[in-house]
Chain A
């Protein structure tokens, strides 16, 4: 009996992993992931290469020569021009934008305009606003004529960074990094959502294909319908696992390789970052010490936070919730496939399956913001949403009993749905040319024979 199910599993698996679409997905997936990780940083470096010159017409005469320039942003102070003149000849100049500062700036901070023939970049706007604020602040402070003002300012400026510590039951402490946990939780939950939909739909299409091509009639004269259904679900589930593992490996390789290509200097930890990490882990920000260089600080944080996520646990729980969620939904997808004659008829039955999945995605947003709240708690127990919600919560650390309860409920439910789906499937696959509704399905479930 099981030997035959494994023949079905082998066919379902092999025909799918040899398909061009599988191979293409396997290659494109990691490229997309890598692009999402590497892309924004890379584009940012690209954009900054262009040097932009902003013309400054300063009626207040407060800022001439005082706006800080960067490698890619220059200011040119014009004295004998008006905005109108500039506007007329704007196309002939190389200016990126025109900054107009009215003379009442000190009393009316909104009397500044940045004009251009296109939308000026946000970073430029922020840079200018920041520079103006600082300069005004400096000049106003200077007006009080305090001695040693620069040194005082330097010593009072303190940067605060909050470390979150979780007290463990065993008395130990664990440092948590909410941002990273959020990202990992989000990605994990979303991947499960994506895989359930992708491979659940494949199960459904497979069943419809067998039914409409009448292959099913031959197969069920050799094996029991339930074995066929189970073989298909397991076979396609294995395809999903293969795809996932290939993605993980390939994404990792791609990210490392492209990091080396685009950002060779940050790929390997330099001695500086090690120092920064020491500084970070020692946890003291001395007052006398000037604000630590931003980039060093971030590297330290990255190292510490990545090591705070237990990737073994993450991978294991991903595999469990992926399989549990997949088995639950795939059996329902199989039941739908068996009840219809072609894919266009699936709509009415798809809704009850899609809704809990979509609710999961919405609740997940809430759960990663508030992983211990009642919504996150309950939805991570309900089997129809728990694969996604619990996955999103796990990076934050979830009490063992909650995970165990949620896992137990999930297993019990997928056994139940598989049994239920088997009953619908058995009748459905041999039923042709009949418009099936829910009442009909209910009859099939109660039907014994």
Chain B
């Protein structure tokens, strides 16, 4: 089931086009990565989803119908640049934002108490925000974002400024929220966390959607047909055994065993390669190299730039 979708969304500002026919489809209860280099148009898209600005053309749908003003209560947004009133007390401030998101005072207080206990930050309630460290402020911001229990959550670079322990805590919370039924759009440059968390992604570059789909599918699509093989036996024989369709990129090893990276040029399967090798070597490991999201990201963005130049 699709919770959110954008269809052919375009948006121009006075002298540049921020979004050009961007489409995306976010499945329900998934974590969806919105990727792209700085200035690609991610923030504009997020602002459109939040109804901060309206698209020039295109459709935005939530739950299968067009976005309407009241939908802001069903969306939670944590912007990249954290925004809190520095001179305002933490508790008061959290309550203020909760009420702006439509919660009544009583419910807001109850939920705030729950989250402050969960994060063990009850003692911050009467502190001014400026007294907190950056990481502490992020926690407060996170609570503010999710307090009204939105169906759709948008996190823009949620882990920046967090230490590893708090990053983990936050990751667990985000997956926890997803497991409880919310859908998450996750905008980041941190490809490690994309692989770890995201089910689907869209990559935006130069205002255009460059690629969209499930993370696994995209990584498959960018496979270079390179296999890593661990084996024992006479390594030199490798060159004789393999036909010209196979290229040995790298060969390392010693007494304990050898490792080779082999690129397959023709359409072939793992089994064909294994069949070729098995009579001659004792195979200890066999894996296909799957490109990291990081590589794909860099690849796509640079390719685009090259084309443009």
Interface residues of A (CB under 8 A from B): 4, 7-8, 11, 15, 209-210, 213-223, 430, 443, 447, 449
28 pairs, CB–CB < 8 Å, chain A vs chain B: A4-B100, A7-B99, A7-B100, A15-B85, A15-B88, A209-B85, A210-B85, A213-B84, A213-B85, A213-B86, A214-B79, A214-B81, A214-B82, A214-B83, A217-B77, A217-B81, A218-B79, A218-B83, A218-B97, A220-B50, A221-B72, A221-B75, A222-B72, A222-B100, A223-B100, A430-B47, A430-B53, A447-B14
Within 8 A of A (CB), among B27-81: 47, 50-54, 56, 72, 75, 77, 79, 81
Contact (Cβ within 8 A) B52 A449: no
* Candidates A214, A223, A443; contact of B14 at CB < 8 Å: A443
Chain B CB count within 10 A is highest, among A7, A11, A215, for A215
Contact (Cβ within 8 A) A219 B100: yes
Contact (Cβ within 8 A) B96 A216: no
* Candidates A11, A430, A449; contact of B96 at CB < 8 Å: A11
Considering the chains assembled together, what is the distance between the CA atoms of A216 and B50 in angstroms? Answer: 13
Contact (Cβ within 8 A) A221 B77: yes
**Measured between C-beta atoms, what is the minimum distance from A216 to chain B in Å?**
7
Considering the chains assembled together, what is the distance between the CA atoms of A218 and B144 in angstroms? Answer: 10
Considering the chains assembled together, what is the distance between the CA atoms of A8 and B101 in angstroms? Answer: 12
Q: Which residues of B have CB within 8 Å of A4? A: 100
Within 8 A of A (CB), among B96-110: 96-97, 99-101
Considering the chains assembled together, what is the distance between the CA atoms of A11 and B98 in angstroms? Answer: 13
Q: Which residues of A have CB within 8 Å of B56? A: 449
Q: Report, nearest first, the 8 A-B pairs whose CB atoms are least far apart.
A: A214-B83, A215-B83, A222-B100, A214-B81, A221-B50, A217-B79, A221-B77, A218-B83
Q: Which residues of B have CB within 8 Å of A223? A: 100
Count of A-B contacts with CB under 8 A? Answer: 58
Q: Which residues of B have CB within 8 Å of A215? A: 83-85
Closest to B148 in A: A222
Q: A218-B83, A220-B52 are in contact. Are A7 and B144 (CB under 8 A)?
A: no
Q: Which residues of A have CB within 8 Å of B52? A: 217, 220-221, 430
Q: Which residues of B have CB within 8 Å of A217? A: 52, 77, 79, 81, 83
Q: Which residues of A have CB within 8 Å of B101? A: 222
**Measured between C-beta atoms, what is the minimum distance from B79 to chain A in Å?**
5
Considering the chains assembled together, what is the distance between the CA atoms of A38 and B251 in angstroms? Answer: 99
Considering the chains assembled together, what is the distance between the CA atoms of A144 and B219 in angstroms? Answer: 126
Q: A7-B96, A15-B88 are in contact. Are A218 and B47 (CB under 8 A)?
A: no
**Measured between C-beta atoms, what is the minimum distance from A5 to chain B in Å?**
10
Q: Which residues of A have CB within 8 Å of B77? A: 217-218, 221
Closest to B47 in A: A430
Q: Which residues of A have CB within 8 Å of B51? A: 221
Q: Which residues of A have CB within 8 Å of B144? A: 218
A interface: dominant SS: helix
- 10 further interface pairs, Cβ-Cβ under 8 Å (given A222-B97, A222-B100, A449-B53): A4-B100, A7-B96, A15-B87, A213-B83, A219-B83, A220-B52, A221-B77, A222-B101, A430-B52, A449-B56
Closest to B86 in A: A213
Q: Which residues of B have CB within 8 Å of A220? A: 50, 52
Closest to A7 in B: B99
Closest to A447 in B: B14
**Measured between C-beta atoms, what is the minimum distance from A217 to chain B in Å?**
5
Closest to B14 in A: A443
Chain B CB count within 10 A is highest, among A7, A210, A221, A449, for A221
Q: Which residues of B have CB within 8 Å of A447? A: 14
**Measured between C-beta atoms, what is the minimum distance from B17 to chain A in Å?**
14
Q: Which residues of A have CB within 8 Å of B100? A: 4, 7-8, 219, 222-223
Closest to B81 in A: A214
Q: Which residues of A have CB within 8 Å of B79? A: 214, 217-218
Q: Which residues of A have CB within 8 Å of B72? A: 221-222
Q: Which residues of A have CB within 8 Å of B75? A: 221
Closest to B77 in A: A221
Considering the chains assembled together, what is the distance between the CA atoms of A440 and B120 in angstroms? Answer: 47
**Measured between C-beta atoms, what is the minimum distance from B59 to chain A in Å?**
16
Considering the chains assembled together, what is the distance between the CA atoms of A4 and B72 in angstroms? Answer: 13
Considering the chains assembled together, what is the distance between the CA atoms of A210 and B56 in angstroms? Answer: 27
Considering the chains assembled together, what is the distance between the CA atoms of A356 and B85 in angstroms? Answer: 33
Considering the chains assembled together, what is the distance between the CA atoms of A15 and B56 in angstroms? Answer: 38
Contact (Cβ within 8 A) B99 A216: no
Q: Which residues of B have CB within 8 Å of A213? A: 83-86
**Measured between C-beta atoms, what is the minimum distance from A445 to chain B in Å?**
12
Q: Per-position contact with A for B128-145: 1 when CB-CB < 8 Å, else 0?
A: 000000000000000010
Contact (Cβ within 8 A) B83 A216: yes
Considering the chains assembled together, what is the distance between the CA atoms of A430 and B82 in angstroms? Answer: 14
Considering the chains assembled together, what is the distance between the CA atoms of A221 and B67 in angstroms? Answer: 14
Considering the chains assembled together, what is the distance between the CA atoms of A223 and B14 in angstroms? Answer: 24
**Measured between C-beta atoms, what is the minimum distance from B75 to chain A in Å?**
7
**Measured between C-beta atoms, what is the minimum distance from B84 to chain A in Å?**
6
Q: Which residues of B have CB within 8 Å of A7? A: 96, 99-100
Closest to A1 in B: B69
Considering the chains assembled together, what is the distance between the CA atoms of A340 and B144 in angstroms? Answer: 27
Chain B CB count within 10 A is highest, among A4, A15, A209, for A15
Closest to A449 in B: B54
**Measured between C-beta atoms, what is the minimum distance from A235 to chain B in Å?**
12
**Measured between C-beta atoms, what is the minimum distance from A375 to chain B in Å?**
43
**Measured between C-beta atoms, what is the minimum distance from A26 to chain B in Å?**
19
Q: Which residues of A have CB within 8 Å of B54? A: 449
Q: Which residues of A have CB within 8 Å of B86? A: 213
Closest to A216 in B: B83
Considering the chains assembled together, what is the distance between the CA atoms of A7 and B105 in angstroms? Answer: 11
**Measured between C-beta atoms, what is the minimum distance from B95 to chain A in Å?**
10
**Measured between C-beta atoms, what is the minimum distance from B140 to chain A in Å?**
12
Considering the chains assembled together, what is the distance between the CA atoms of A15 and B83 in angstroms? Answer: 17
Within 8 A of A (CB), among B190-220: none
Q: Which residues of A have CB within 8 Å of B96? A: 7, 11
